Structure 1
Amino acid sequence: MQVWAVANQKGGVGKTTTVVTLAGLLAEVGYKVLLVDLDPHGSLTSYFRYDPDELEHSVYDLFEQLQVEPERTRGLILDTNREGVDLMPASTALATLERRAVGKEGMGLQVAKALATQKQSYDFALIDSPPVLGVLMVNALAACNHLLVPVQTEFLALKGLQRMIRTIEMVNRARRNKLEYTIVPTFYDRRTQASVSSLRELHRLYEENISSAVVPIDTKFRNASLKGLVPSSLDAGSRGVHAYAKLLRNLLERRRQGKVDG
């Protein structure tokens, strides 16, 4: 099973949209996909019309005891309205996890352990991470084969990206295998100088890691969210879906060439 995490230490950059859109496109070509919501805000969970305030069981359960049991993990997984896509939801209880994790050993590997128990059931797992460096993001980074970093094409987002790059460097000092990452420019508007200059700066600073697929501002993403549908189900021909389809082709090609572990 390939595990891709989507993370950035800045909110509002398109993390959940990236997860949902890629999941829909993977399912369209026959892959079985598990989504994992590690954000206490539960945007991914809410997207598929589950209420993080009301769920009795969620990914939080993985942290209640260090022993991860396959059946218990399977019991956390919910159906979505997209065939081929399942969800391990978040609950608002995740917001208390940082405080409870203080001083506990092994808390950074719980998600990796849980996904290992499900590797025969899914081809891909996509993790939606919180925009804060803590035990939840550490779990996402420890579990993944490849990291996607959506970055809004505007100046302040570029400053936030620097923090994320430092985090990746820190993680790589602790990992046996280097964590490869792809920067995904989002919310691009070619009509504005701010977007154009920000994209140019991203290429200047991170040429080796930036995706050639640039995700434009696209109201179809909002429309899909309002209906709880993966964007390709609502409008497969939209500009945003085309951008993510290009990103996915590139990622799958890297995987075929062995440049993405797993």
Structure 2
Amino acid sequence: MNAKVLAIANQKGGVGKTTTTVTLGAALARRNKKVLVIDLDPHACASVHMRFFPDLVKRSTYDLFTAPKKVWPVLWEQLIVRNEGQEFDTVPASIRLSELEVDLKEKQGKGNLLKSALEEVRDKYDYILLDCPPQLGMLQVNAIVACDLLIIPIQTDFLALHGLKLLFDTLRTLNKVLPKPVTYRALATMYDKRAGACRRVLDLLGRKMGDLMFSSVIGLDTRFKDASALGKSVYEIDASCRGARGYELLAKEVEALW
């Protein structure tokens, strides 16, 4: 195995980023893939969703960025956790991630830390999913540099298009210094086919992005909130709901890319 690294990012919050990370991870695992989800957001939403609460977590992604490289092999063993009944492994986050900008201010090569650290575990997984914070900073840059594919969830709402512009500005900046351009695909989320505005945004995205957009469209589904409240993936509570089926189609599209 040599894991494909998927970063899920958008510089606007509330677009389905964590839902996409957790549910796509579960959908891939249900297709017999070995999956690791790494929470890079100081708010730790993906961690809490999977019942890893920051106050109780002994090791977090903060340690991965601050520990010496020589301890990475042992550290990974401490970082990777899984609760009973869950479909994939998780590395939980900590509020201390918000301190990294200051803690690593003078560190050389800080934008490549995650990419280097992932080399220790890539041979153990088929997919590694990175749940990114919504704001541009060291963590989001690390995720984009480390990934094989950047997945950009876009809420089908006109306001969400502004966050997309910010992310593309970031990509243009990074592409000037990276050895090869970042590969990305957009994913339409929170789609309500009854709303004319949603239909217009989806049509606009399709015309603007063409092949750089997944065919899968994730519809509004209250079962996502139900699953989050129970600390489970949507497949554990209702594998046949609209949202679950949407992410099953996305998992097939992701697999077909390689």
SS in 1 for 2:22: helix
Segments ≥4 residues shifted beyond 4 Å:
none
In the alignment, which of 49, 52, 55 is matched to residue 54 of structure 2?
A: 52
What does residue range 1-262 of structure 1 map to in structure 2 within 5 Å? 1-67=3-69, 69-255=72-258
1:35-83 Cα distance to aligned partner (Å, 9 max, x none): 1000000001101111113322111001224525211122111113445
2:39 aligned partner, one-letter code: D
| TM-score, normalised via structure 1 length | 0.93
* In structure 1, C-alpha distance between the alignment counterparts of 2:86 and 2:204, rounded to whole Å: 39
Letter in 2 for 1:24: A
Amino acid at match of 2:49: Y
- Secondary structure (helix, strand or coil) at the match of 2:216 reads coil
Residue 180 of structure 2 aligns to a residue whose secondary structure is coil
Distance change in 2, residues 1:178/1:192 (3 Å): same
SS at match of 1:136: helix
CA offset at residue 132 of structure 1? 0.7
Instruction: Work out the CA distance in 2 between the residues paired with 1:150 and 1:200.
Output: 16
Equivalent residues of 1:34, 1:87 under 8 A apart: yes
3-state secondary structure, aligned to 1:79: coil
1:19 to 1:82, Cα distance in 2 relative to 1, 3 A: farther
Distance in 2 of aligned mates of 1:231 and 1:252:
20
TM-score, normalised to structure 2, is 0.94
Name structure 1 gaps, 5 residues minimum: 256-262
Identity among equivalent pairs (%): 39
Q: Is the 8 A contact 2:86 2:232 kept in 1?
A: no
Taking the aligned partners of 2:175 and 2:152, their CA distance within structure 1 comes to: 16
| Deviating more after overlay: 234-243 vs 68-77 | 68-77
Q: What residue identity is the alignment partner of 1:95?
A: S
The one-letter code sitting in structure 2 at the alignment partner of 1:209 is: L
Please state how far the C-alpha of 1:94 moved relative to its aligned partner: 0.7
Distance 1:121 1:86, change over 3 A: same
CA distance in 2, matches of 1:184, 1:219: 19
| Consecutive unaligned residues in structure 2, runs of 5 or more | none
TM superposition shift of 1:238: 0.9
Q: What value does the CA root-mean-square deviation take over the aligned residues?
A: 1.4
CA distance in 2, matches of 1:164, 1:147: 11
Report the Cα offset of residue 147 of structure 1: 0.7
CA contact (8 A) 1:152 1:185 kept: yes
Would you say how many aligned residue pairs link Structure 1 and Structure 2? 255
8 Å contact kept, 1:81–1:229: no
Q: Which whole-Å CA distance do the structure 1 matches of 2:211 and 2:137 have between them?
A: 27
- Residues 154-187 of structure 1 deviation map (CA, whole Å, 9 limit, x = unaligned): 0110111111112122222222222111100111
SS of match in other structure, 1:158: helix
Does the residue aligned with 2:203 lie in a helix, a strand or coil?
helix
Cα deviations across residues 100-147 of structure 1 (Å, max 9, x unaligned)? 222221211222122110122211100000001100001111111001
For residues 104 and 140 of structure 1, the distance between their equivalents in structure 2, rounded to whole angstroms, comes to 17
